Structure 1
């Protein structure tokens, strides 16, 4: 074979070899392409369905491609999809106009091969945690024009992690609390078996943990209290409640009990069935004991307040608005407690107007000086009574200021009334003692003065009997007699005041006495004063001297007339009155119980002050101008009324008038008619009998001897009772009558008469005196109708009285 043919054969073989190689390479490429398509499908499926958003951004951070997940998660809102391609990635993801600091694309382009960042992006309606990974897309020539960014939503994973962490933290906190808390904590199953018990509950009940875990809850609770727990547990089982809160007694290992405040919280499964319970138990033993002690203290306090005879109160220091008042307020004053508390000005509205300023000032001073006080004042009760209270007040301070006042109001009405009665009684006693002292003085003066007047009038009469009316001395002796009689009237008034005159008492009808005096009173008071008299029907009788009662009425009428210089009204009326001390009012309280006839004499004059009223009945006390009054008118009235066994009371208001109340004891029997016929004594004055005359005053004794001698009698003289007794023993057969003064030194007339009555019971006795003690008359020693003669006396009266007794 030629070389050319050989060469051609080699070329064909080589070409066939190459063709075969090309076919093999095409097969390989086809297989590789198929594998590539398969891999690409796998990659596409992975990118589309991985759950991560994938985007491709160019060198200008514009989005050039996204997968469906990205479009669905980050570009869809309210069902509408926003086209992301062509927009800057920070606008699409961060909603910002420029890249954020945490941008992973920038970080990758600044040198990181693969940049990973955790971003917080606003997605739909909330922020979401997104894990972003940026990696380069390398071109075949090795350049990088684009970056692929994978975005994975970590929100659910984050929540799970946080939940797990929170759960672990919660479990740790619960374990820490469970182990270290001072309160007892246990967990129990549905049947009450203990699952856990912390150290505190073990210490409370005295068990070890292993001992208590072998017990059931109901075994450690007091039987009486577990019933209450069971009732509420039944409600838990019924779905009506989820927790229980009770105060129960727990049984300790040593048999004692412990009070515990128990809060039981049940845990439920998915079907809302209780599975186990956590119990929190707080030891409240001390609190219970304290509450018990407080309750006992409160009961004692309330008992004390409720039994205290006073009003316990609390009020605002400035407004005096009450915040507390004890129940006794209604009992003492009649106002319900709610009125005290609801009416801001209750206290001010009911304190007596005359005491309000003083009471308010006391409370203001307490607030100012921060110290308590004690005050007595009046308050008007619901029924109108005036109640005296002693208020003992203390202050309550807060931050250095007095905020409240607290006190106790004690009803002292009875004490104040007793004190007032005592003060009145003491004043009356002092007045009575003063009047008695003045009376004794007046009586003594009148007695001595009457002895002098007896001599003056007696000798004046003797002189006149020895001369006719033409005698040059007749007028002078007549004037001496008139002056003596005026002086005798003055002493008579003094005796009336001192209650030492002898009253000619008989049973009277005061209506008749007043009727007989109407004309006289009319003339006395004048026409410009209206006289009104009222006479009670069935008026009782009194025993008194009619002349003296007339004097009382006349003197009171004169007093009323002088109190009404411009005219007015004088009222005189009578009535029967019965006094009962326990039921009498203030005016009658000083009068003894009994039946009285009362004369009331009232005027509409000027009235009197308290100062004048105190001295009203004192002798020689007068408010009239000098020379217009003796000051004996009302003192005479006082003496006559008191000597008649009665009382006189005066009430007066300045500018309104004065009223006198005269109380005379009521007696049985009808009024006696006075006998105005001339007595035997006035007809006959002479005699021949022998008379023992006893008189300590020499002037009076000499006058009496002369009068008796002129009238024919034989007179034996004695200076006192002792001397007279000796004389009578010597001359008892000669003496027919005893004429004696009542008050004498050594032995008075009363004692002399008593001694002679033993020796000579039929001896006639005539008493003479300037005054006579009421006691002598009341004891029956003197019969004032027959055996007494008041000094000064006239010659005829003396001689006639002697003759009358001798003939009786």
Structure 2
């Protein structure tokens, strides 16, 4: 036994003279053995029980005298062969500690972990420490047997030294302190529990091991226990470890003779951490239920419904015997309540508006095994507005009874309204899909096509710069330039028509949009149509998307062209107007100031019947295959999204006039067209040019070097980083393509800023805006150069980026 104790971490603690003296004074064996919170047995090799402490007798409902007549095998709910092997290993195994789990016959629901402590000095006996695999009670007092009530436990009369060694080997931490909380003893498990070396805990104050806010509770516990020496309590505490971290322990405390107090502690850190995670999960769950936009409900059935009931009986009981236990806030508001608390407790039937539909729903629920998904229900909200929902139910079944129902409702009203609007146009919808390939084609070819055009435009301008003014090749070169410019414009038109650009509203003067639109529309509508403009030169500012405005003008112009089979006149006008009750007849339009856009033609016009449907999706008067019916519907949608209004006036053979109103804003900045630069601005700064397309890279280098810049180039991001790291001088500008293999332009710029913080950045790309946004380039402070570009555009954008960066640096 001594050899074994010498190997224990805390052997020195109770081998000391002071500890032995203390144990002798308090009667170590009798007090400690019965004070242990663990259920403890002492067996011989045959399994006969020679001793059992208070905890074992109390928790398993045995009388001590009965236990002395019992063999341990009779108490274990395991096969005899397993029990026999357990005893054999406990006595003969090389290690003195061995653990397994068993169920006790008289407590079949309690699962225990048992530590078998093999004591070499007592080879015929072994101690069993039991640990419950479930949460113990907290703060439950009990009264142990008084010393006078104790009986001799069979023929096993162990000396105090045996019990002292038993406590030292106990798997749970054991502490003994005086009335001032100064520790007098701690076993090996206590040292391990708090991360101390053997003997280090002796002399420390228990209050220093607890949180400061728990001292008052500790003192109160001491006062309550001092009133009766026989009272012992369970309580939970946090303990400070040697390294400053905290662990949780469940302390079983009691009084000892001589004014001492003892605590047997179980490490419950893992359990407390699990409880904290569960609490956090429950809080998140409750928050999810209450604040989820999806309507969620949880019904309890009291009493539970037997599955053996008929379908009709089950449906009837669901209507009457359910009670709402949990609800999301959205469900409460659906039924006219301000919070979910107001609907808790209401039966399922309360939330039913159409009983026939509800019965059909519940019948499907029962027949499908208590789960039904996405059942469509039509209801009315508190304001009697028609609403549509997709409802789902799932039932919880236990022991052949339905005990609980979870339900969700998803509002699909907007979708149903859209379906209703589009149902009559399903055939036209299929025809409209023919425009989808145009958009995909536009986006797909834009990048590569613009790269081709960029090379041509740069090379043509470079040739022009080197040709003498009267060189016979100059007209040919200019023809190439003209055709290339037209091709670039056509790509832009294709992208706009295919809706492959990101659209963003901004304060602008609508005249600027109209003037730009006229430049691209003449070839589209034909030479036999005369276009006239009447633009108010004092036109105010409205907050709209210029690309959307171009789309509106395009659709209205195309519609006018198709109405003028033999040519005609197309008029576009702008003006400032004020709407009040005396000047306008449309009551639906709020009073205020507006910008008016008028598009008028003298075509064939339309009948009153046709005019009623022109803004409906897929409505068209054109022959099959000639139109999608989306043009005017698109116009209407853009106007409404821009908080505007649109009116139409038309008569057969008298033409058509569309009048659009957009709210005027005084806060919008005046749109100023960029000043045209007559000469290419030079520079002397250093530029890092990164472009994976070799022809563009080389041509751009040639242009910039001819302007005086120092150029270092790279074909991709990785090479650019290496070049930048090895370049010792200052780099003023990173000119980089956006979409490149291995690393995109934004990622490259971010990494290079770490190496060269003085760097300014100019992105360039032939991609459309929606693709650009996927790469995170669309930001207000980003400098961007769209492909294709001319030497002039390149030079101007480079200067703008460099000077803007220098200006911001000065401001700082």
Q: TM-score, normalised by structure 1?
A: 0.36
More RCO (CA 8 Å, sep 6+):
2
